[in-house]
Structures are given as structure tokens and as C-alpha cells.
Amino acid sequence: MDVNAAVAAAAAIAGVLTGVIAMLAFRWSEREQKRPTRSSLHTDAVLPPGVDTVLSVLRSSAVVLDEADAVVKASSAAYALGLVRGGKLAVEPMLQMARDTRRDGEIRQVELDLPRRGTGRGEALAVSARVAPLGSRLVLLLVEDLTEARRIEAVRRDFVANVSHELKTPVGALSLLSEAVMDASDDPEAVQRFAGRMQIEATRLTSLVQELIDLSRVQNDDPLEDAEPVRVDELVAEAVDRCRHQAGAKQITMASNVWAPEGPDQGGGRRADGPAGLRVWGNRGQLAAALGNLVENAVNYSPARTRVGIAARSVNAPGGNHIEIAVTDQGIGISDKDKERIFERFYRVDPARSRATGGTGLGLAIVKHVAASHGGEVTVWSAEGQGSTFTLRLPEAGAARDRAHQQPARETRAGGAGLDEEAGRSTLTSPESTAYETLPAPEVLP
């Protein structure tokens, strides 16, 4: 019995020691798991809960930096702007702001001009950078692209400056002419002469104000709200009638394959066989104003006893047919550098000629906006000394009406002008014939 008792006691003691050792081992293992290591210190530098989701919906470019200035999180926009390269923040002023904010916890903001990547033209990228602490160890950098906002602001300033200048000129002239009339009150001939000049300046001022109103309307209104099928021949007739007096004074022939007035009192026009029944879908008033501006420019910039041609045709295009209305003149032409800017507001190729003809520099800008708002475009071909062809390309009435219910805004599409540039001439074609009217280089008609 003594032997058995001794064995049992020894087994009990061994069991107790085994349990103690196992408990100690378990406690030691827990302590080792909780002890911070290099890897655990690195993985702790993660975004707080919910921050990743918030950053993903921000419009600004977002970059999160850790204590070592390494990028923990960066949005795709930050990479696109070139802010992050090789896992590091690549903009030194922003990096210095992040370090200062990490040191004192202050929120900082600055606007910078950064070189634009991949253009090679030295264009600057305007950004606004804001840095704030994110927790105790991270720093958040938000970058907003201000380039487009600055461009729009510059356009607005230029527009206001141009409007002020254009309004100041006729108003100043009216003031001086009124003083001249008062001083020449005893000279009827002088009064009549000054009154005529006042009428000219008043007409110029009225035209400028009206075109400003028209430009504002086509930019802000949706022309397709009041859209209807509009006959192209009626638009051409209205445009020709608008320029009848100027064309007749310069003995300019108005030729068209759609419609043209007849008789010497209407500019010596004539009717030519061609397409009939063409219709476009849109706002009649805006379309008539756009085509009228093109025809008026063609007459104003053409020498005396030349021709202005107006031709229309239907063109097959993906998504529906288009109507092309081409206006060709035998005028002075437009240089390559001017062709890039002629659709800008208040831009004039020849300021002296514009003043003589009463031009405001807004006509082609109105044409461009009308074409774009109707889902079309306006293109130009020109050569100095050979004349110009402006082509207004618009969706045809059936197809355009169907698309109007599906997509309120349309992308402009490239289109040809039906021109024979190698021969130095503009050829206007119609569906029924290979060539409607070929206008050669400027010449004085007998």
C-alpha cells in the first residue's frame, strides 16, 4: 500500500506541474502575440474605419501619408495628375506642407501651378492643395483641379472687357456727334451730316445689343423644346432676303440650288434646279439667324460683281441623315491662323472692314452655338485670295426628331464641306447632280 500511495502522490504532483507549465506556456504565448513587432508597427498605419469609403466618393484627388512620408492611400485622380510616383508624393511643396502639418497639427491650404504631364507645351495645371491631420499618425492631402475654373473665369473677364469696349465705342461716338450737332446748329448741312453719322452709330449699337441677346439666348435655352420641321428652302429664302440690299448695292449675284430671288433689284439672283423639300429639325428662329449670319458675312467680305453660292444636300451618316447647307463666297479668304479663332466672340479677321460693314464679331459665335445646340456643327474651308465656304451641318427632320426623345444633348460630328481644295475652288453638290455650282477664283464679272 505504501508503494501504491507513493506512486499516486508522484503522479498527482507530476499532473500539477504539467498543468502549471502548460498555463505558463499559454500566458507566455499570449504575451508574445500582443507584443508589437516591426511588421505590426507597419500594418498599424492603415486608414481609420470608414475613411477609405469617404475618400472614394470625393471629387478631389486624395493622398494619405504615414510618418515616413510613404503613400498609404491615393486615389486614381492623384495618379492621373502626377501627384504620386513610385509610392511617394512627387510635389515638394505639398510634401513640405504635410510635414509641417504632422509636426504642429495645423490645417494648411495653398494654390499651386504645376507642369502638365505629357503635353510638351509648357501648360500649367492650377490646383488647390489642402493638408489636414488624420488621426495621430497620418496626414490627409486633398487636391482640387482649378484649371477649368480659371479658364472659364478668364473667358468671362475677356467677354466683359470686350463688351465694355464694343459698347463704349458707339456710345462715345454718339456723345461726340451730339455735341457737334449742337455746335453746328446754324449750319443745316453740317447738322444733316452729323445726324447721318449718329444714325449709323445708333444702328451699330442696336445690332450689338441684339446680337448679345441672341448669343445669350442660344447659350442658355434648349432650342429643341420648341423644335419643329423647318424647310431648308424657306431658311435660304429668308437669308437671301435679309442680304438683298447689300448684295444689290455691290452687284453680287446670289446663286442657289434651293432658292434664290429673281430680278436685278434683288441682287441679280436666279433660280437653279436642285433639291427640294429638305427639312431640318430645330428652332426656326435660331436656324434662320445662323444661316442669315453666314450669308451676310459672305456678302460683306466679297468684292463687287462676284458671286455668293448657297447649296443644300442630304448626306447619309451613322445614326441618321444630315443636311449640309454650304455658303460659298469669292472674297478675301481667311488665313490658317485666323481660321482657328474666327468662331470666338468678338474676334475679327479684318477689324477695319468689320467697322465699315457694321460687324460686331458675334455672328459666327452665334452660328457655332446654334449648330451645337441642334446636334450639328459648322465647318470652314478657306484660302486667302480664293474665298471661303462655311458649311452648316444639321440633323435631318425625321431622324433628329426621333433622337430628340432619347438624348437631349448631342455630340458634334465631323463633316465635309464638299470642296475641291486642290483646284483652289469650292464645289457645292446636290443629291441629284454631281455639281450644282462651281465658283472659280475671285473675278470681276462683266
Q: What are 390's strand-pairing partners?
A: 327, 380
More reliable by pLDDT, 436 or 35: 35
Question: What is the pLDDT, as a whole number, of residue 311?
Answer: 93
Q: How far is CA 215 from CA 209, 344, 366, in A?
A: 10, 12, 6
The mean per-residue pLDDT over the stretch 120-135 comes to 80
Confidence band for 443, pLDDT divided at 50, 70 and 90: very low
Phi, psi for 309 (deg, rounded to 5): -105, 140
* pLDDT digit string, tens, across residues 66-107: 888 889 888 888 888 888 888 889 889 999 999 999 889 899
How many residues in the chain? Answer: 446
Percent above pLDDT 90 for the chain: 21
pTM higher than the cut 0.75: no
The three-point CA angle 266-350-340 to 5° equals: 105
Alpha carbons 194 and 183: distance in angstroms, whole number: 11
Confidence band for 46, pLDDT divided at 50, 70 and 90: low
Q: Is the pLDDT of residue 320 over 90?
A: no
Confidence band for 275, pLDDT divided at 50, 70 and 90: low
* Count of C-beta atoms within a 10 Å radius of residue 314: 17
Question: What is the pLDDT, as a whole number, of residue 232?
Answer: 92
Question: What is the pLDDT, as a whole number, of residue 381?
Answer: 93
The mean per-residue pLDDT over the stretch 400-415 comes to 45
DSSP string covering 128-160: EEEEEEETTTEEEEEEEE-HHHHHHHHHHHHHH
CB 279 within 8 A of CB 229: yes
How far separated are the first and last CA of the chain, in Å rounded? Answer: 150
More reliable by pLDDT, 4 or 217: 217
The three-point CA angle 188-194-195 to 5° equals: 85
Which region among 39-43, 74-78, 107-111, 126-130 has the lowest average model confidence (pLDDT)? 39-43
The mean per-residue pLDDT over the stretch 47-55 comes to 76
Confidence band for 59, pLDDT divided at 50, 70 and 90: confident
Report CA Rg, the chain: 37
CA contacts within 13 A on the Cβ side of 177: 19
* pLDDT digit string, tens, across residues 156-180: 787 777 777 778 878 888 888 888 8
The mean per-residue pLDDT over the stretch 308-316 comes to 91
* Count of C-beta atoms within a 10 Å radius of residue 277: 8
Alpha carbons 100 and 2: distance in angstroms, whole number: 80
More reliable by pLDDT, 236 or 37: 236
Question: What is the pLDDT, as a whole number, of residue 203?
Answer: 84
Alpha carbons 159 and 153: distance in angstroms, whole number: 10
Phi, psi for 257 (deg, rounded to 5): -95, 5
Question: What is the pLDDT, as a whole number, of residue 63?
Answer: 92
Q: Which three cell numbers stand for residue 227?
A: 423644335
More reliable by pLDDT, 353 or 149: 149
Question: What is the pLDDT, as a whole number, of residue 34?
Answer: 52
Nearest to 137 by CA among 44, 220, 16: 44
Alpha carbons 356 and 102: distance in angstroms, whole number: 66
More reliable by pLDDT, 260 or 239: 239
Confidence band for 223, pLDDT divided at 50, 70 and 90: low
Q: Is the pLDDT of residue 357 over 70?
A: no
Query: Is residue 31 helix, strand or coil?
Result: helix
Which region among 58-67, 339-348, 423-432 has the lowest average model confidence (pLDDT)? 423-432
More reliable by pLDDT, 430 or 57: 57
CB 193 within 8 A of CB 169: no
Q: Is the pLDDT of residue 142 over 70?
A: yes
Question: What is the pLDDT, as a whole number, of residue 221?
Answer: 65
Question: What is the pLDDT, as a whole number, of residue 276?
Answer: 61
Q: Which range scores top for mean pLDDT: 41-45, 289-293, 422-426?
A: 289-293
Confidence band for 416, pLDDT divided at 50, 70 and 90: very low
Alpha carbons 334 and 336: distance in angstroms, whole number: 7
Q: Is the pLDDT of residue 119 over 60?
A: no
Alpha carbons 347 and 362: distance in angstroms, whole number: 8
